[in-house]
Structure 1
Amino acid sequence: MEQPPLASLSLTHVHYNPYDRVSYLCAWLALVPQALCITYATLIWSTREVEILLMFVGQMGCEAFNWLLKRYIKEERPRQMNGKGYGMPSSHAQFLAFFSVSLTLFLLFRHNPSSSPDHLHNHPIPFLHRVLLSLGAVGAAAAVAGSRIYLNYHTPRQVLVGCAAGAITAVAWFIVTEYLRRAGWVSWALDNEWARWARMRDLVVSEDLADAGWARWEGRRIKRSAAGSGEMANGNRKTR
């Protein structure tokens, strides 16, 4: 019996010009959505933060929206492109637009460390730094979107529509999650037995982004240092 023809897993199969360094960089930028999915999964597992889970749910909803748009519009990719599937709108541009806008909305409007009962012990990222971080995320999204045009995977119009769809979806999802928070649905879900079993929490909204137990570690370190200094002092007294 003849063996069936082998197929290519196109998840990371990117065409680029090996003699063009910009094209090579663009090929790596094409992997950013996959890297972000891994980051989402890692952060959800390690932090158990419901805010990250909500953002990931919205991200997957944005992907589903892109799937529907492509099959409704049915616009082909550029003629010089060898890729498969429809090109309108660009899924990469839409994915990164949703991520960058969602992160920006969180950092500038939802993240409020001063609302924590322990805010005096927090060292929150200054607002200016959060603005710069947001601009960095938007810049990264623009680089990925531009790479899709450079590699001829999409036309400029397909990329622009993708960016618009991602941004609109991000704003809509932010409004939905804000309602869920204000109406108490997020608190209700976190009190659920399954959420408690999974140890889900909601601290990143009101605590330092980089804390991750840092205050507790500093407290233990100071106690250990004090204990070590006390033992050394007792030892010196005994030798006398």
Structure 2
Amino acid sequence: MESADNLGKDDIEWQPLALTLVMYPKGDLLGKMFALTSLLPFGVGAGFIALILFRRDLHTIVFFIGTLINELINIILKHTICENRPLVRSNLYNEYGMPSSHSQFMWFFSLYVLYFFIFRLHHLNNNNIISALWRVIIVSSCFMMALIVSIGRVYLEYHTRRQVVVGAIVGIVTATVWFIVVHKILTPLFPQVVTLKISEMLMIRDTTLIPNVLWFEYTTSRHEARARGRKMAAHKPAQ
């Protein structure tokens, strides 16, 4: 005879956390590839957290805040439009599908990266061809990932084409508006923000005035390593 506790447990309806659960047709390799690429937004989010923890740069922080605002807009739109997904998967996905959050996130991220490279990341050294090539590769890769994720959401029937297109449009518009806000309103305030006591405690920094952050950090670390190497060689006892 089952105990009262076991009977109570049997009556519980278990709800799966479908945050990273992506279903695809069994044996469909293309579907499996699209299912894997659906996890890209989570990888981007993890990358943001790592960059913020290790670089403490204000622009990275406000970029991440922009992605959170973008996600909030998506939630509001979904629960305002209330359009269902094209395929019902029992109780795994009970949220609405318009607009696609994956599509909106990836197109927001890709367009913001494009704006960042055009208006923020200037390369003033002699390797202009190499710099331009890297820009093209990085930006093209971002847009390619956004396109693949968007196609995958339709292929796996998590969203209709219209839901994906609307998500992309909302992401593009949000990225444009947020970059203007950051570039025109927030960036001029960065020098004051980094002087705050809390910013000093958290070692938050502003690299806005540095023309090319990547090149600056590369040359700075290289020069520091050489200087420390010479210092260690000078103090090394003669054999």
Shorter-chain TM band: 0.7 to 0.9
Match of 1:117 in 2: none
* 1:98 and 1:166 in contact (8 A); partners too: yes
Which shifted more, 1-10 or 66-75? 1-10
- Distance in 2 (alpha carbons) for counterparts of 1:206 and 1:212: 7
Ranges of 4+ aligned residues in structure 1 off by more than 4 Å = 120-125, 224-232
Query: 1:7 Cα shift?
Result: 2.1
Is 1:75 the equivalent of 2:83?
yes
| Alpha-carbon distance change, 122 to 204 in structure 1, aligned in 2, over 3 angstroms | farther
Q: Which aligned pairs between 1:21-32 and structure 2 lie closer than 5 A?
A: 21-32=29-40
Matched to 1:162, the amino acid is: G
Which shifted more, 14-23 or 217-226? 217-226
- Distance in 2 (alpha carbons) for counterparts of 1:193 and 1:144: 42
| Alpha-carbon distance change, 201 to 124 in structure 1, aligned in 2, over 3 angstroms | farther
Which shifted more, 196-205 or 206-215? 206-215
Query: 1:81 Cα shift?
Result: 5.0
Is 1:159 the equivalent of 2:164?
yes
TM-score normalised by structure 2 residue count: 0.84
Q: Which aligned pairs between 1:63-212 and structure 2 lie closer than 5 A?
A: 63-79=71-87, 82=90, 83-114=93-124, 126-181=131-186, 184-203=188-207, 206=210, 208-211=212-215
- Distance in 1 (alpha carbons) for counterparts of 2:184 and 2:77: 26
Q: Deviations over 1:109-129 (max 9, x none)?
A: 122354xxxxx6999962342
| Alpha-carbon distance change, 222 to 195 in structure 1, aligned in 2, over 3 angstroms | closer
* 1:113 and 1:205 in contact (8 A); partners too: no
Aligned length: 229
| Alpha-carbon distance change, 68 to 128 in structure 1, aligned in 2, over 3 angstroms | same
Query: 3-state SS of the aligned residue for 2:135?
Result: helix
- Distance in 2 (alpha carbons) for counterparts of 1:140 and 1:210: 23
Is 1:214 the equivalent of 2:230?
no
Matched to 1:202, the amino acid is: D
Sequence identity percentage = 28
TM-score normalised by structure 1 residue count: 0.84
- Distance in 2 (alpha carbons) for counterparts of 1:228 and 1:108: 41
Matched to 1:191, the amino acid is: T
Query: 1:197 Cα shift?
Result: 1.3
| Alpha-carbon distance change, 153 to 5 in structure 1, aligned in 2, over 3 angstroms | same
- Distance in 2 (alpha carbons) for counterparts of 1:198 and 1:212: 22
Query: 1:224 Cα shift?
Result: 5.4
